A and B are shown apart, each in its own frame.
Chain A
Amino acid sequence: MVKKPSDKTPRDLLKPAAFVFMMGVLLWIGLDLYLAARARQTIANDVNEAIALSDNGAYVAAIYRLHQTQEHRQRLRNRTAHFWMEKLRPFDARMKRRLASLHRAVAIGFTEQQLPALAEQHYTLALLHDPEITGIARRLPMECFYTGNYELGWIATRMARNDPESRIPGRLAAFFESNYEGPRYAIGEERGGR
C-alpha cells in the first residue's frame, strides 16, 4: 500500500540514510563557510574600529583591538573554510592593507608621543603587511635617527626618494647615506621602478 503524503512520518522524510548523510555534509560545509564569513566580518569590524580609535588618539584601545584582531585572524586561518573562501573571494590581501593602515596610525601616535622605538616597530609592521603603503617614508627616517637604526633609516630615505609625496630633509638623507655601510638595495623596484 502506498502512503499518501499526509500519512508520512518525519522518519519517512529522512529516508534513505545516504540522502540524509549527503544533506548533512552539505549543511556542515555550508555552516563552516557561514561561520568563516562571520569571522571575516568580525575581523573587518575590529580593524576598522581600531583604526578609528587610533585616529582619535586612543592608541591604547587601538592596540588592544589590534591584538584581539590578531587572535581572531589566527582562528580564521585555522578554518578549512577560510582556504576555500580565499579562492573565491580573497580577504587576506585586503585585510593586510587595512592592518598596515592600522599599524601606521598607531605608529604616528607613538611619533607624536615621542616614543621612537615603538613608532619604528609599528612602521616596520605596517611595511611588512603592505610594502607599498604610503605616508611612512617621510616619517620613518627621523624615528630611525633617534633609535640609531641606520639600515631601516637608509631604506626609508630611499623609499621617500621614490615617493613624490614624501619630502624628507636632505641632511637626514645624507646622514644615512654616509653612515649606513650595509647592502644597498634596489628600492625603486618596490614601486614599479618609479
Chain B
Amino acid sequence: MNAKTFLRFLVGGLLLAGYYLAPSFLRDGEGVAPIHPDNIEELWLVVPGEDGFHLRRSSDSWELVGRREIRADPAQVGSFLEGLGNARLEAPEGAPEVDWDAAPELHVALRRGNDLTLQLGPRVRPFRSQLVRTNGRVHRISFDLSASLGLWQGDFAWDADRILDRIPLLNEGEEIVRIRLSNAFSDYLLERTEEIVERREDQFGEEEKHYRWTSGGTHSDRNPSTAAMYRYSQDLKMLVVDGVAADLTPDSEAARTVTFTTSGGDTFEVATGQPLPGETRRLLWLRQPSPSDAYLVDDRFFHRFTPAGARLYESRPVFVTEASRGARITYERDGHLLVLERNQRGGWEITRPRIPYSIHTPEPEPGTPPESMAEMYASGLDSIGTEELFVPDTEDRELLVDGVFDEPAARLLVEDSDGDRLELLVSAPVAGTGRVFVSMNGKIGVLDERFIGRLAPDIKYFLNPREVEGRTIEW
C-alpha cells in the first residue's frame, strides 16, 4: 500500500468516525443532562402523600404499569422526554433552602440498567428552569420538569390521571362507516352509504358531507337521519375520559355497547356500565381492538357517545296527547294526586289538592307572550317522543316489559271537554338502564327516567318559587 492510498483510507476513516462520534463528545461538553430520552425504559413518579404513576415504554407508546391497555398521553410524555434530553445542568444560584424530603421523586430506569433518581425541587423560572437533586447534588436544570408532568402548588392536588391519554380512541380522523349501538331495549345497526345527501359549510367554512345511512336488523324499515348520524359519527371520534377507575373493575354485563368501524377497517368496541352511586360518572372500557381496564367517563360524554337510539332516525314513535287542548289533566305519582282544570277564562288552575296559591306565570322573554307553568306543562305533554325503538325480539326483552305497569311510577289522565279520556302509564325505572316504559292505549314506548319528573312533576313546579321556597305543601 503506498502512502497516498494509506492517506485516503485514513481520511475516509477519520471522517466517518468523526461524523458519528463527535456529537457525543460535543454534547457532553455542552453540559446537557446526562440522560438520552431513547435510553429510558421506565419512569415512575412518587409524590409524597399522593398517587404517583409508573410508565413503561411499549413498542409505540408509554403504558401505565399494572393497567390493561391504558396509555399515557403521548404529547405530555414526549414533551417531558424532549425537555429532559435537551436540558442543561447548571450550578444553582446561591444556596437555596429546599425541603428535599417533601419533594416529588422521579425514578428513571435506563436501558443499560443505570437507574437514576431525580428529586424535583421548586421551579426557578416557570416553564424555563427548576432545581433538581440527583446523587446528593443540587442542580438547576434548564427545563420545567414539574410543569411537563402537571405538578403544581397551591390548593391544586396532584392527580395521577394528568399523565393519562384522555382521548383513548384517537385515530387519524377517518370516517366512521358502520355503527352498532346496543342496549337492553334494542340493537341499532347503522351503515353509511356513499350517497351524499347534503353538503354544508360549518362555522369554519369547511365542507360537511352528510351521507345517507341505512338501518339494518329489526329497524331496517326506518330511515336514519343524515344530520343526526353526521353529529353522532363526529361524537364517536372524540371520546374524552375523566380518568382511570383504579379500584373498579367493569361488570361483564355492559349497560350499553357501541361498536364502530372506520373507513380504514379498524373496529372499536366500547362498553359502558351503570352510573356510579352518587356520581355523574360511569365506567367505560374497551373490548376491541384490545380489552382495557375501565376508564371513568362523565355523563355528558357518555350521552354523546351512546345517545338515545330513536333520536338517530328521521322520525321516532310519538305519543300524541294534545293535552294543551284538554279540559282536565290528572296525575298520580308516589301516592300524590294532582288535578289541573281549565277555568272559564281559559286558564288553568289546580283543583286538587286545595292550596292557597295560584299557578305561577313567570316573566316572559322579550317578544314572547306570557305563559303559565300549567300551559308550559300541558304543551310539553302534547307529544312525547320515545327514546328507544323497543322491539321485544328476545326472551330477555320480553321479560323486561312483563308486569312493569302493574305498579306504575306515574299515571296520567287527559280529558277533553267532550269527556274523551286518554290514559298514560309510566313504569318504574328499568333497573340499570336509566329508562322507563310508557304505555298509551296499548302502545309501548321507552323514555328516559327523567321523564317521570317531567310527566308528573312535584306540585311546586307550578307555583311561584319565591312564595313556596322552604314550605312543605301537602298534595
Contact = CB atoms under 8 A, between A and B. Distances in A.
Given A64-B171, A154-B154, A57 B206 contact: yes
Nearest to B155: A150
B156 A150 contact: yes
A17 B126 CA distance: 57
Contacts of A122: 75
Contacts of B23: 80, 83-84
B8 A16 contact: yes
Nearest to B123: A185
A63 B153 contact: no
A34 B311 CA distance: 55
B11 interface: yes
A121 B162 contact: yes
B154 A61 contact: no
B468 interface: no
A189 interface: yes
Contacts of B157: 148
A17 to B, nearest CB: 7
Contacts of A73: 78, 82
Interface stretch (B12-20, B250-258, B389-397, B454-462): B12-20
Contacts, number: 161
A84 B170 contact: no
A60 B148 contact: no
B354 to A, nearest CB: 46
B173 A183 contact: no
A92 B82 CA distance: 11
Contact of A129 (B79, B154, B240): B79
Interface in A132-180: 147-155, 179-180
A90 interface: no
B170 A118 contact: no
A185 B122 CA distance: 11
Contacts of B171: 60, 64
Interface string B145-159: 001101011111100
Of A25, A179, A183, A186, most buried by chain B (CB within 10 Å of CB) is A25
Contact of A148 (B38, B156, B170): B156
Contact of B5 (A16, A118, A147): A16
Interface in A50-84: 53, 55-61, 63-64, 66-67, 70-71, 73-74, 77-78, 80, 83-84
Q: How large is the interface on A (under 10, 10 to 19, 20 to 34, 35 or more residues)?
A: 35 or more
Contacts of A103: 75
Nearest to B143: A128
B155 A179 contact: yes
B167 A60 contact: yes
Contact of B12 (A22, A125, A152, A190): A22
Contact of A149 (B4, B152, B202): B152
Contacts of A154: 154
A77 B81 CA distance: 12
A28 B19 CA distance: 11
A32 B15 CA distance: 14
Nearest to A23: B12
A29 B76 contact: no
Contacts of A131: 126-128
Contacts of A155: 126
Nearest to A87: B26
Contacts of B7: 18
Nearest to B124: A185
A115 B202 CA distance: 21
A128 B144 contact: yes
A21 B173 contact: no
B334 interface: no
Contacts of B154: 149-151, 153-154, 179-182
Nearest to B80: A128
B144 A21 contact: no
B380 interface: no
A49 B206 CA distance: 15
A68 to B, nearest CB: 8
B469 interface: no
Contact of B147 (A61, A66, A124): A124
B110 to A, nearest CB: 16
Given A77-B85, A151-B154, A189 B173 contact: no
Given A70-B75, A77-B85, A183-B122, A64 B12 contact: no
Interface string A83-121: 110000000100000000001000000000001011001
Interface in B22-44: 23, 26-27, 37-38
A37 interface: no
Contacts of B231: none
A154 B154 CA distance: 10
Contacts of A57: 202-204, 206
B52 interface: no
A35 interface: no
B342 interface: no
Nearest to B239: A60
A189 B20 CA distance: 39
Contacts of A44: none
Given A70-B75, A80-B20, A149 B156 contact: yes
A55 B237 CA distance: 18
Nearest to A67: B74
27 contacts: A18-B9, A22-B8, A25-B12, A29-B16, A56-B205, A56-B206, A61-B173, A63-B75, A63-B167, A64-B173, A67-B74, A67-B78, A71-B60, A77-B82, A84-B19, A117-B162, A121-B76, A124-B147, A124-B148, A128-B83, A131-B126, A131-B127, A148-B156, A149-B152, A150-B153, A185-B123, A186-B125
- Smallest CB-CB A-B distances: 8 pairs: A150-B154, A61-B173, A18-B8, A182-B153, A22-B12, A70-B78, A83-B23, A131-B127
Given A64-B170, A124-B127, 14 more contacts: A28-B16, A32-B19, A57-B202, A57-B206, A80-B19, A118-B240, A125-B75, A128-B83, A128-B148, A147-B156, A148-B155, A150-B155, A152-B147, A180-B154
